[in-house]
Amino acid sequence: MLNTDYKDDILTVFLSGEIDHNRAVGIRSAIDSQINALRPRRLELDFSDVSFMDSSGIGLIMGRYRAVGLIGGDLRIINVPDNLNRIIELSGVTTLGVLR
């Protein structure tokens, strides 16, 4: 179960631990359910408690970018730890303007 907060039409998802292929599947499903139910104008993925992320995490970000975009919303990635910044920058995700 993911910790989330929904206020002022902003859905914030607090991610934690390691995001690898096995965990990403469940996280994607949980976030997509929230997007479909709430239809937020903004989705914020809070990475403050994420200790590790592989390419599955990048796929998670890109898929949620598309999912929230389909309903007219936007995505923000917030509180990214220094050890994950490089992965996100190398992936090209920052060119989408989602990193805050």
Q: How far apart are CA 58 and CA 73, in angstroms?
A: 19
Q: How far apart are CA 68 and CA 11, in angstroms?
A: 10
Domain architecture of the chain: domains with CATH? 3-96 (3.30.750.24)
Quote the pTM value: 0.94
Q: What is the dihedral of CA 93, 97, 98, 100, to 10 degrees?
A: 120
pLDDT score, position 93: 86
pLDDT score, position 52: 95
Low-confidence ranges of the chain (pLDDT < 50): none
pLDDT score, position 97: 78
33 Cβ contact list (under 8 Å, min separation 6): none
pLDDT score, position 47: 96
pLDDT score, position 39: 97
pLDDT score, position 20: 95
